[in-house]
Structure 1
Amino acid sequence: MIKWKESYKFVAVRYFMDISYRGTNFNGWQIQPNGITVQEEVEKALSTILKSKTPITGSGRTDTGVHASHQIAHFDADELDPVKLVFKLNSFLNGDISVNEIKPVKNDVSARFEATHRTYHYHIHQAKNPFKKGVSYYYHPQLNVEKINSACEIIKKWQNFECFSKVHTEVNNFNCQIFEAKWVLTGSDHLFEITANRFLRGMVRAVVGTLIDVGLGKKSLNSVRDILESNDRQKAGRAVPAEGLFLQEVVYPKEIYLD
């Protein structure tokens, strides 16, 4: 739908873009002075096709080496054919990035601020597998999944997660609402799934590192409570490698979409 101001100047339509990427060869999502990023590559392709500089804003940033099955970004442009644009973008982009869908949304909607739920998955495989290299963390020691899930129940009831945030992170607060946190074992593969309204920088990888310590018997359930109460990153577990982490899903209210 084309919209016009009273002065008859054209007002661009806002679109949401659903993007997947393998983060191995990128310095994260967000554009930065040194290193190739996903945002930079998508913006470059989009601007070339539309013949106009077209910035995009993502739902959030992922760190170096982190993947996304479902990242959302918004951009403004003249009215266009979303299906044709998806095809053209995928022709321009390298094999590590794909654009899955483009949809028009209300013009005042932000991909960053309107999301209600975000889900991350962390993958671990305990049997060496060359086909999982780079997209799952190879970690051989056996883990007590029952104890890990008991720790997940503690985490789900918490609100302040400063202990899992990267230090010197500039945020208004460290509060997150956790909707789901669970650890699933399938054969020799482990999957940690966590859904929240927002996440802090480095949070998921620090949570997984702490849960691994619980599964190894290095940390008790009481120590998990102590870590959460401390607000001290140094007391939590290590940050596990980026290769196993996926931004799995970003959810928005249905009413923001025009189609």
Structure 2
Amino acid sequence: MPRYFIEVAYMGTRYSGFQVQQNGNTIQTEVSRALKIFFGQEFELTGSSRTDAGVHAKQNFFHFDADAEISNKAVYSLNAILPYDIVVKNIIEVKPEAHCRFDATSRTYHYYITRFKNPFYFNRAYYYPFKADINLLQELATSITTFNDFTSFSKKKTQVKTFRCHIEYSRWVFEDDIWRYEVKADRFLRGMVKGLAGTMLKLSKHDKTIADLSDIFEAQDPAAADFSVSPDGLFLMSVEFKNAIFHNLG
């Protein structure tokens, strides 16, 4: 049976997260509804990256199987059905064994901060008018790449086999009044990017050092980190896959 990847982008402000939940509307609920309306049948969607409530994505994926051939021409009609804050960008046929979660090789997140109240970044950046040492923030971000156990940066009651992640890069970009934390890794734990961004901001605000960040990692306790920053500024920017799962690329 043919398998398809469906690429989506969305503003997560109005949703309880990416994948279906019992209490609250989600991105998966809306995409499933649009597929059913257009194709007249239900599809079982599997998600790539589970963004939390309020988190946005410029690129995320589902995969599903379909008896009939599905053309990318359906994108226009699906977008006419979907609400204004969700868009289907592409539908791609992949190899039958492809899996949009397990075949992902990396994911990239950006966390945006606005230093001054700005109506044009409402729900798209975290308003942070407090003291912050940009040199220390950059040092902290760079040092994160030297760690691989992120137990302290995973929210409690997260059911995973391991808390180990490989960070490809971790850095801050400072552009006038908008700051951006960029991080790319092979995998992320629940709440991990918010925990990293929030903890770095807190350490900078209180004139802490890299040694203090090391202590938080070594504690292996989420209570040592700071997850209090809002989801408004968090964007899943991209998901990369093995070429072997695509036709004519493997």
**Alignment TM-score, normalising by the size of structure 2:** 0.96
Structure 1 residue matching 2:104: 3-state secondary structure = coil
1:162-241 equivalences in 2 (<5 Å):
162-241=151-230
Question: Which is worse superposed, 233-242 or 36-45?
Answer: 233-242
Deviation by residue 1:156-200 (Cα, 9 ceiling, x = unmatched): 010100001101211101000000100110001100011001111
Question: Which is worse superposed, 75-84 or 217-226?
Answer: 75-84
* Equivalent residues of 1:149, 1:183 under 8 A apart: yes
Shift of 1:228: 0.5
* Equivalent residues of 2:72, 2:92 under 8 A apart: no
Correspondence for 2:8: 19
**Alignment TM-score, normalising by the size of structure 1:** 0.92
* Equivalent residues of 1:208, 1:239 under 8 A apart: no
* Equivalent residues of 2:63, 2:100 under 8 A apart: yes
Whichever residue aligns with residue 194 of structure 1, its letter is: V
Correspondence for 2:103: 114
* Equivalent residues of 1:82, 1:101 under 8 A apart: no
Q: Does 1:254 align with 2:243?
A: yes
Deviation by residue 1:116-168 (Cα, 9 ceiling, x = unmatched): 00011100011211111001111112321211111112210101000011012
Distance 1:176 1:213 in 2: 23
Deviation by residue 1:195-245 (Cα, 9 ceiling, x = unmatched): 001111111101001110232234321010011011011111233101110
Deviation by residue 1:37-64 (Cα, 9 ceiling, x = unmatched): 1001101111221211102111121111
Runs of 4 or more, structure 1, over 2 Å off, are 78-83
Deviation by residue 1:59-80 (Cα, 9 ceiling, x = unmatched): 1211110001100111111343
Q: Percent identity?
A: 39
Question: Which is worse superposed, 48-57 or 169-178?
Answer: 48-57
Distance 1:169 1:58 in 2: 17
Distance 2:168 2:112 in 1: 19
**Bigger radius of gyration among the two:** 1
Of 43, 48, 63, which residue of structure 1 is paired with 2:37? 48
Correspondence for 1:8: none
Structure 2 residue matching 1:243: 3-state secondary structure = helix
Whichever residue aligns with residue 64 of structure 1, its letter is: A
Correspondence for 2:28: 39
Structure 2 residue matching 1:147: 3-state secondary structure = helix
* Equivalent residues of 1:202, 1:239 under 8 A apart: no
Residue ranges of structure 1 left out of the alignment (5+ in a row): 1-11
Correspondence for 1:82: 71
Correspondence for 1:4: none
Aligned pairs, number: 248
1:58-97 equivalences in 2 (<5 Å):
58-97=47-86
Structure 2 residue matching 1:225: 3-state secondary structure = helix
Distance 2:123 2:71 in 1: 32
* Equivalent residues of 1:185, 1:191 under 8 A apart: yes
Whichever residue aligns with residue 60 of structure 2, its letter is: Q
Correspondence for 2:128: 139
Whichever residue aligns with residue 41 of structure 2, its letter is: S
Correspondence for 1:125: 114
* Equivalent residues of 2:169, 2:183 under 8 A apart: yes
